[in-house]
Amino acid sequence: MTRNKLLKLLGLANLLVFSFSGYASMGWLPNVVHYINADTPLSAPQPEIALISNNFQESSLIDWHNFGGEGYIYTLSFQLAGSNEWVELYQGEQSYFATANTLASGTYTFRLSCDGVQGCPAEGYITSTIDIVQKPSFVNAEFDHQQQSVHVYWSDLAQVAGYTVEQTADNGQSWQAMNPEQGTGVEYQGDNYSGQIHTQNHVVLSNEVVTQGIQAAKALHKQWVNAKKTQASGADNTRQMTSSATSTNSAYEVGSELQYRVRACATQQCGEDEYSKVLPIVNLNGLISDPGFEQGQVQFEADVGATLAIDSSAPINQQKSLTIDLKNYGLVQYIHRYAEEDYPILNGATITGRLRINSIDKDSRISILPIAYYDGYNHRVEGQKLEFDASDIGRNIQLKGAVWLDSEDKPENKIKRLYFSVRLMDEGSANITLDDVQLYEGGGLAQTDPTLTSYYSNYSGLVKTGWSQFYQPNAVYHLEYKERKQSAWQTFYKGVNTEFESDVPLETGIYDFRIACSGIGNCPEPGYVTATTVIVREPYHLTVKVDDNKTYLDWSETASALGYLLDKSTDNGVSWQPVTPQSGDPQRTYTANDGETLTTLTVFDTTALAFTGVATAGTKYRVKACRWAGCKGRFRVSNGIYSFTEKPLTVNNFFVDKTSIEPGESIQLFWERPDNYSKDFYYQLHVTKPSGDGYPTVPRFLWEDNVKVHAISRGRDTGIQRIGTQTIDIRACNAHGCSEQLQQVEVTVQGPPPAPHTFTVDNANITVRDIVSFTWTMSPNYQEAVTFNLGVLKPNGNDFVFLQNSEATKHNRQINMPGKHQFYLEACNADKGCGNDKAKLNVYVSGVMQSGNTHYVVIATEAGVRYLSLIQVNDEWQINSLTEDAWHALDAYSNFSLSSYSVTVTDLSQDGLVDITLSDGSNDLVLIQNSDGDFVITEPDGVTIPLLEKTEGTLTWSIIANAESYELQYYACGESCGNYIEINWQPAQPAQSDTATSYILPADEVKRAYRVKACFADESCTAWSNVWEPLSKKKIIYIHTDLLGSPVAETL
């Protein structure tokens, strides 16, 4: 009990207290506390409850005078504004309430019982009200190099009016308010802040807004530098950053890095700031010399289980691409290795590119991500994984991933290697194509996203894991794991560290790891960051078969194995002799390096051997896998001698993870190899369904055939939909027949209908007023009577069902609202209701809306939705791009009408970019997308922006009618041409005539990009021209994501 608590309990709160403990170290006073009573009698404390806002930040504390005296029972409750419910917090004798938990933001009224105490109100309790405003748990920021904008987003808080957002570009010396766009904020008046606040928990700050903040910071920084020259110190009334020191270096480059802070505002006041990490603004420096593979360079390195080839038969872009075959956890990587003397400190790494999945097994996944290794402590960090599966076959996928790196200038933050990693996550196979890939030094993240690393294959069973510090320092991380066939998660590690290496080996199997990250920015669904490790302490099988005068050995191909050691025993395993590769045997000699010793190994480079002679009773073989680090695993010992021509024995250990499901619900099936397994075996799975109503006519039918893996997951269209108890059986087969004995499991199916089997639309890309036709079917395996509900989530946010309880299987609908329409279809039946799963599809509608003399163009495609405003002033059109937030702030769907202009989405310039033609029947207006992804206007009477090109050593550009001058800018891009930061463009020097339409390029080695615009007498200017770059390069399409990383748009 604290001293003050003791005083309160004793009723001595008004005593004068002198403490001499501070002088005890002087040796001449004892360490005592003297209590001196006043002459006047003590009056009984009055019932009151004092609330202090700081007592609710990191924990919760409420205390009061012990006005009830000894033995009095207090009851403390609270009521949240807007609620009529009182929630009891505490009941007991102590005169305070304390808990490590915090209360959510909001306006709280606390009441404390005082019945029977002098001074207590007639109601029998006292009350006090306070605004509790918590900080956001995180603030993240991401710089979009292509759009030159910054995404800032933070954790959303309940019961708050909004948020303030501020930016610093001078290391916290000054902060500039980032006010909300129209419709995304409100005016706020509170005790400690008055002004605009954001009503959303994210904002996209345009280049113009960010630049304005930087310019304001530069002006303030200049004033500060001048003031430092004339006085030793000066007052600064700007609200200062408290989490880091302000800049004291007059040479500090203002604008080279940004930081953001956000605070929540409740009814009466705003809370404390939460800060993002510093966001350095750097160019992206590409490391892959031939990103489009047009020079025929493979560049990537293939690990075991992967082969690479340049493909010119079906490239994604231009003439060549890279085709990759993967099997059994195969791995392909581009590795950039730095010389030790050149280890850089980076703020991140970024990968981009194009991917096409040509084929992949049903139960396999492809994982693509950037990886970095720090030098100081050999720490491996991963970016968040981009994962793809069989549902992505045939798609051309745009890739973009990033990893945050610590750029603080410390030796341990130097980077020794960067990776562009492509991995097959399972034992199946896949064929994929890559093009236009790049691994960049630099990134746009201001924070480390939640990531979890575990080495993808392991022979020892000792697993090393690591994760980013995505929580606050000293926070406790709970790392869980389970073997793939298990259902329950177990604790692997719990503590404050960000890496852990087990000292107890795990057995052979596939292990999944996870750490909870819910509430942290970019935490994957459903609230966990995950990793997978395949542990192969021994090959999965070794089978010995005989036929005529031959002995055949067959063992499983082991992930990451460079070769295998083989031993033989003729005394039933009592003693062993090595079997070494002979001339003609597939073999490999290499030097293994386990980090401590180098060992030269000669191993079999095959998983099948044949020997002359028949193995006799007592003969056994054993095999061990070897990798770059050596042969650290265990031997797999053969379990008998089998006939080469016999059919497979019974499958072992067949089981299902769930025995009761709803129709179409996902299940996982696992099994182990028959005792005489060899790699020519495959599996068949049959299903026996209830057939009391005559369907199906053949109750037992073949469900899956030619399965080569030992676990499958099936659901929805590939799942079990028939109501009743189904029996699934499995057998192994080869050229000689199938297992005589079946292994079976039962699954009971009950509940509402599954999602419809098919749901299609005749045209997913249309313009307003077009009619689309939807069709759908149920799976033939689902035989119950159903009706359908068809609904849509419209671009304005309205969600409604427009077709209800219908037995129809098609529907036509006209769409009159531009934007992305998300349609959904659910099946229902009378006794079980509607299914939880819905079939979904999107329809992208482009169109033009009008308000006064302003036309708003909505361009909707699978890549995302773009919003443009067009206004005609003095016979000239002006064009502006709008963010999604700005568009919705206009409430256009309620306030605007459809324009007389029709819209056609095409590619007039045949450059892979979207172009727009607007027509009102008599006039056409064409919007061309330039290389920066921006739209410019072209009218029939001529081009309205200059076109820039190079002839020998001179740049020239087209003449624009009535232009009075031209402004030429350059960008010193070095090896990063194609990635431009707006604030780094500079006027071309030396100055030439501003009316010239040509420019002689400098005769130096500096690589520069150029752009030009025309300006007129009224000081207006055209948009910037195309960018001329010193090196020709393939167009790279960048994927633009929303605040959670989901793709929403793409530009070149």
Q: pLDDT tier at 698 (50, 70, 90 boundaries)?
A: low
Q: What is the pLDDT of residue 1034?
A: 34
Mean pLDDT of 298-324: 91
Instruction: With CA atoms as reference, report the closest residue to 170 among 207, 211, 221, 234.
Output: 221
Q: Is pLDDT at 948 greater than 60 in this prediction?
A: yes
Question: Comparing 315-324, 396-405, 547-556, 995-1004, which segment has the lowest mean pLDDT?
Answer: 995-1004
- Backbone phi and psi for residue 564, each to the nearest 5 degrees, phi listed first: -140, 145
Would you tell me how many other CB atoms lie within 10 Å of the CB of residue 236? 13
Give dist(CA 540, CA 614) in Å, integer.
Answer: 24
Give dist(CA 513, CA 515) in Å, integer.
Answer: 7
Q: What is the pLDDT of residue 241?
A: 34
Scan for tokens 């750029």, then name that residue.
407
Question: Comparing 41-50, 55-64, 893-902, which segment has the lowest mean pLDDT?
Answer: 41-50
Q: What is the pLDDT of residue 933?
A: 60
What is the tens place of the pLDDT at every residue in 158-173? 888 999 999 998 888 8
Q: What is the pLDDT of residue 385?
A: 87
| Strand 771-777 to 758-761 pairing | antiparallel
599 close to 591: Cβ distance less than 8 angstroms:
yes
Q: DSSP assignment of 977-1037, as one string? A: TT---GGG-EE-SS---TT-SEEEPPSSS--EEEEEEEE-TTS-BPPP-PPB-SS-----P
Helix (DSSP H) and strand (DSSP E) numbers for the chain: 4, 83
Q: pLDDT tier at 309 (50, 70, 90 boundaries)?
A: very high
Q: Is pLDDT at 597 greater than 50 in this prediction?
A: yes
For residue 669, give both structure tokens.
């099936």
Scan for tokens 């399965």, then name that residue.
707
Question: Comparing 430-439, 639-648, 694-703, which segment has the lowest mean pLDDT?
Answer: 694-703
**Buried (b) or exposed (e) across 267-306, using 16+ Cβ within 10 A?**
bbbbbebbbbbbbbbbbbbbbbeebbbbeeeebbebbbbb
Q: Is pLDDT at 875 greater than 70 in this prediction?
A: no
Neighbouring residues of 954: CB distance < 8 A, sequence distance ≥ 6:
998, 999, 1000, 1001
458 close to 329: Cβ distance less than 8 angstroms:
no
668 close to 661: Cβ distance less than 8 angstroms:
no
162 close to 218: Cβ distance less than 8 angstroms:
no
Instruction: With CA atoms as reference, report the closest residue to 4 among 80, 77, 139, 95.
Output: 95
Q: What is the pLDDT of residue 525?
A: 79
Q: pLDDT tier at 209 (50, 70, 90 boundaries)?
A: confident
Q: Is the peptide bond before 136 cis (omega within 30 degrees of 0)?
A: no
Contacts 24+ apart (CB under 8 A), 391-395: 392/357, 392/360, 393/357, 393/358, 393/359, 393/360, 394/356, 394/357, 394/358, 395/356, 395/357
Question: Comparing 96-100, 419-423, 467-471, 932-936, which segment has the lowest mean pLDDT?
Answer: 932-936
Find the helix or strand (DSSP H, E) in which 955 lies.
Answer: strand 954-957
Mean pLDDT of 825-837: 90
Total residues found in the chain within this entry: 1052
Neighbouring residues of 177: CB distance < 8 A, sequence distance ≥ 6:
164, 165, 166, 195, 196
Q: What is the pLDDT of residue 325?
A: 94
Give dist(CA 186, CA 251) in Å, integer.
Answer: 39
SS3 731: strand
50: DSSP letter: B
Give dist(CA 226, CA 234) in Å, integer.
Answer: 11
Q: pLDDT tier at 913 (50, 70, 90 boundaries)?
A: low
Give dist(CA 301, CA 315) in Å, integer.
Answer: 20
Q: DSSP assignment of 607-639, as one string? A: SEEEEESPPPTT-EEEEEEEBTTB--S-PEEP-
Of residues 273 and 933, more confidence is placed in 273
Q: What is the pLDDT of residue 621?
A: 96
Percent of the chain at pLDDT > 70 equals 85
Of residues 1027 and 107, more confidence is placed in 107
The overall average pLDDT reported for the chain is 82
Mean pLDDT of 831-848: 90
Q: What is the pLDDT of residue 651?
A: 97
What is the tens place of the pLDDT at every residue in 729-762? 999 999 999 999 999 999 999 999 999 989 999 9
In the chain, the domains with their CATH numbers are 3-132 (2.60.40.10), 139-280 (2.60.40.10), 283-446 (2.60.120.260), 450-537 (2.60.40.10), 542-640 (2.60.40.10), 652-749 (2.60.40.10), 752-931 (2.60.40.10), 948-1034 (2.60.40.10)
Q: What is the pLDDT of residue 923?
A: 64
Would you tell me how many other CB atoms lie within 10 Å of the CB of residue 524? 18
Mean pLDDT of 132-148: 84
For residue 223, give both structure tokens.
């004033």
Q: DSSP assignment of 229-271, as one string? A: HH-S-----SPPPSSSPPP--TT--TTSEEEEEEEEE-SS-B-
Burial class for 677, CB neighbours closer than 10 Å (0-12, 13-18, 19+): buried
Q: pLDDT tier at 243 (50, 70, 90 boundaries)?
A: very low
Q: What is the pLDDT of residue 1039?
A: 34
Q: pLDDT tier at 343 (50, 70, 90 boundaries)?
A: very high
Q: pLDDT tier at 781 (50, 70, 90 boundaries)?
A: confident
Q: pLDDT tier at 1052 (50, 70, 90 boundaries)?
A: very low
For residue 89, give both structure tokens.
């917090």
SS3 33: strand
Q: Is pLDDT at 19 greater than 90 in this prediction?
A: no
Find the helix or strand (DSSP H, E) in which 142 lies.
Answer: strand 139-144
Q: What is the pLDDT of residue 42?
A: 52
- Backbone phi and psi for residue 718, each to the nearest 5 degrees, phi listed first: -95, 5
Q: Is pLDDT at 902 greater than 90 in this prediction?
A: no
Mean pLDDT of 769-795: 91
What angle (nearest 5°) sits at the alpha carbon of residue 781, between those of residues 780 and 783?
A: 80
Give dist(CA 815, CA 342) in Å, integer.
Answer: 59
Q: Is the peptide bond before 990 cis (omega within 30 degrees of 0)?
A: yes
926 close to 1047: Cβ distance less than 8 angstroms:
no
Q: pLDDT tier at 813 (50, 70, 90 boundaries)?
A: very high
Q: What is the pLDDT of residue 940?
A: 41
400 close to 330: Cβ distance less than 8 angstroms:
no
Q: Is the dihedral of CA 639, 640, 645, 646 positive or negative?
A: negative
Q: Is the dihedral of CA 385, 386, 392, 396 positive or negative?
A: negative
Q: What is the pLDDT of residue 266?
A: 87
Of residues 45 and 187, more confidence is placed in 187
Of residues 621 and 974, more confidence is placed in 621
Give dist(CA 237, CA 244) in Å, integer.
Answer: 17
Q: What is the pLDDT of residue 346?
A: 93
| Strand 528-535 to 457-458 pairing | parallel
What is the tens place of the pLDDT at every residue in 664-677? 888 999 999 999 99
SS3 220: helix
Q: pLDDT tier at 283 (50, 70, 90 boundaries)?
A: confident
Give dist(CA 111, CA 54) in Å, integer.
Answer: 19
- Backbone phi and psi for residue 689, each to the nearest 5 degrees, phi listed first: -105, 155
Question: Comparing 526-530, 745-749, 968-972, which segment has the lowest mean pLDDT?
Answer: 968-972
Q: pLDDT tier at 922 (50, 70, 90 boundaries)?
A: low
631 close to 566: Cβ distance less than 8 angstroms:
no
